Amino acid sequence: MDPFDLVIRHGTVATAGDVQRCDVGIRGGRVVALGEGLAKGKEEIDATGLLVLPGGVDAHCHFDQPTGDGSVMADDFTSGTRSAACGGTTTVIPFACQMKGQSLRAAVEDYHRRADGKAVIDYAFHLIVTDPTEQVIGQELPALIRDGYTSFKIYMTYDSLKLNDRQILEVLDVARREGAMVMIHAENSDCIAWLTDKLELAGKTAPKYHAAARPMVVEREATHRAIALAELADVPILIVHVSGAEAVEQIRWAQGRGMRIYAETCPQYLFLTADDLDQPGHEGSKCICSPPPRDKANQQVIWDGLQGGVFQVFSSDHAPFRFDGPDGKQVHGADAPFSKVPNGIPGVETRLPLLFSAGVGEGRITLEQFVALTSANPARLYGLYPRKGTIAVGSDADVALWDPQREVTISNALLHHNVDYTPYEGIRVTGWPVLTLSRGAVVQRDGTLTAQPGHGQFLPCDLPAPARPRTGRAGAV
């Protein structure tokens, strides 16, 4: 038998199912052996005192995505995947966004031009459906799903992106028939527009009023409606970036009825609050995202949901806009009203250390839960498991070695994205990824990137088993 290309020795290997001390043998970019006393490899890594974890799967991040408002995302596929790799992530799934009036196939082709040959780690695409014409619904979307684009996102807010209820049902119907996973951004657009108009008429335009324009009731209502539409269409859905108690209550109610309603949350809902929007000058715009961060009580609700199984996925929702300069947060001027500030915050590199430190390190979640939320579950939900998301014989050798005792103070100077700030500046974490392998190749070591753009490969996705309906469509035509 050929020798191993690489053996990782003396580490503690963790998956979503168990934790064990063993060596990992890698050949041809895949894991081929787990055990004690493996034969010598061509290369060896001593992981004594380290955790050997599956590389993270960040299933909700935005790289080089067209925006339509003059703003430009700061991270392309090179800088974005570089940052991801240095944070222990080995697979990303950003979005090929259809602009209204555009062919969905054309959006995918454009996104491949932006991505291919630039990524340092592997990547797949979600679709964003904004214009579900007869051509899109009847031909393009089914064909793209069969080509390996097996998940797509729809919006209930933002004028350039949102669908009405009838359109949502049409898209859900395709997903059910073809076996795709639907992600939904659940906020009530009309409520937000009404509140925004009232606030602006009163002269309340500072960044802090972004939270006032998007109270929890608008997320709650849209979450309830999304669940109802999914029930009517008899199809599983995934509610993305859930922020607080009122949406959680709707999701827990649906899950308690046996519906396949999945949920995702993000670091901003554990580590930021609405107070972070209330900073001097325009500083608060750094933390404008939707839904907005809530308060300390809602942070605890999110932790409870992570502990108790309400959430299946913990993603970054990395949306990288620079603070300074003419094409980022201040694209409409330094004193632009909150409604004109691009939504989104960076976080692809800090996602895993933040959750590891405050979750595993402080005893809120187990190590197995950490792996499930950040790697195994997103791989399952989006058709990449077990190739990604675990350390098992036959899986890609995507591995992150973690020093669970390393203390790091997060600063933007430490990070590898192309954004000029991090909203998590000054947070001290314990536990940090010191080495990242992608298909058996070292892509970062101690914060130094060792892979070249183009190492990352595009991943067509399988039809995800969690997208299958539980029952027949009772009463539907």
Query: For 117-137, what is the mean pLDDT?
Result: 98
Both tokens assigned to 399: 């591995």
Cα–Cα dist 122/93, whole Å:
9
pLDDT higher than 60, residue 474: no
pLDDT of residue 240: 98
Q: 432 - beta bridge partners?
A: 403
Residue 251 has pLDDT above 60, yes or no: yes
Q: Is the pLDDT of residue 1 over 90?
A: no
Q: Smallest Cα–Cα separation from 161: which of 65, 265, 292?
A: 65
Q: State the amino acid at position 446 in one-letter form.
A: D
pLDDT (tens digit, 9 = 90+) per residue, 25-79? 999 999 999 999 999 999 999 999 999 999 999 999 999 999 988 899 999 999 9
Tell me the CA distances in angstroms from 38 to 23, 44, 90, 147, 427, one per residue in order: 7, 11, 25, 39, 40
pLDDT over 70 percentage in the chain: 98
Using DSSP, state whether 285 is helix, strand or coil.
Answer: helix
Whether the predicted pLDDT of 113 surpasses 90: yes
**pLDDT over threshold 70, residue 288:** yes
Name the CA radius of gyration of the chain, rounded: 21
Q: What angle do CA 388, 392, 396 make, to 5 degrees?
A: 40
CB 365 within 8 A of CB 329: no
Give the pLDDT confidence score for residue 475 in this predicted structure: 38
